[in-house]
Amino acid sequence: KTKTNLHLFLSKLYFSFYADFGPLNLAMLYKYCCKLNKKLKSFTMSRKKLVHFTSYDQKKRANAAFLVAAYSVIYLKRSPDEAYRTLISGNNTPYLPFRYKPTNMHQLAALQHCFLDFETFSSEEYEHYERVENGDMNWIIPGKILAFSSPHARNRVENGYPLHAPEAYFEFFSQNNVTDVVRLNKKLYESRRFEDAGFEHHDFFFMDGSTPSDLIVRRFLHVCESAEGAVAVHCKAGLGRTGTLIACYLMKHFRFTAAEAIAWIRICRPGSIIGPQQNFLEEKQHSLWVQGDVHRSKQKLAQQRFSRQLQQQYHLPGSDPVPLGKQEAMPHLVTSMNDLSIKTTLCKSYSLDEVSHLSFWHRFLSSVEV
Q: Which domains does the chain have, with CATH numbers?
A: 6-112 (3.90.190.10), 131-291 (3.90.190.10)
Rounded to whole angstroms, the Cα distance separating 32 from 39 reads: 11
Q: What's residue 104's pLDDT?
A: 62
* Residue 58 clears pLDDT 70, i.e. is over it: yes
- pLDDT for 204: 98
d(CA 10, CA 156): 39
Per-residue CA distances from 98 to 11, 16, 251, 275 (Å) = 17, 11, 20, 12
> For residue 336, what pLDDT is reported?
35
Distance CA 137, CA 135 (A): 6
Q: Report CA dihedral (28, 34, 35, 37) to the nearest 10 degrees.
A: 140
Q: Grade residue 341 by pLDDT with cuts at 50, 70 and 90.
A: very low
What is the rounded average pLDDT of the residues 128-138? 97
The whole-number pLDDT of residue 307 equals 86
CA dist 307 and 310 (Å) reads 5
Average pLDDT over residues 137-148: 97
* 13 vs 157, more confident: 157
In whole angstroms, what is the distance from residue 278 CA to residue 73 CA?
25
Residue 57 pLDDT: 74
Quote the pLDDT of residue 237.
96
Q: Residue 321: pLDDT above 90?
A: no
* pLDDT higher than 60, residue 300: yes
Residues 116-133: what's their mean pLDDT? Answer: 92
Q: Which of 83-97, 312-326, 332-346, 354-368 has the highest mean pLDDT?
A: 83-97
Is the pLDDT reported for residue 314 higher than 90? Answer: no
Which pLDDT value is given to residue 280?
98
Q: What is the pLDDT of residue 99?
A: 47
Pick from 46-50, 246-250, 326-330, 365-369: least confident: 326-330
With a cut of 90, say whether residue 108 has pLDDT above it.
no
CB 69 within 8 A of CB 104: yes
Residue 166 pLDDT: 98
For range 350-357, the mean pLDDT: 44
- DSSP code of 352? G
The tens digit of pLDDT for each residue in 199-236 reads: 999 999 999 999 999 999 999 999 999 999 999 999 99
Which residues are designated catalytic? 235
Position 221 scores a pLDDT of: 98
Q: Pick 80 or 9 by higher pLDDT.
A: 80
pLDDT for residue 180? 99
Q: Could you tell me whether strands 145-148 and 137-141 are parallel, antiparallel, or unpaired per DSSP bridges?
A: antiparallel
Q: Predicted confidence band at 147 (pLDDT cuts at 50, 70, 90)?
A: very high
Q: What is the pLDDT of residues 229-277, one digit of tens each?
A: 999 999 999 999 999 999 999 999 999 999 999 999 999 999 999 889 9
Q: How many CA atoms lie within 13 A of 172 on its CB side?
A: 19
Alpha-carbon span 152 to 60, nearest angstrom: 37
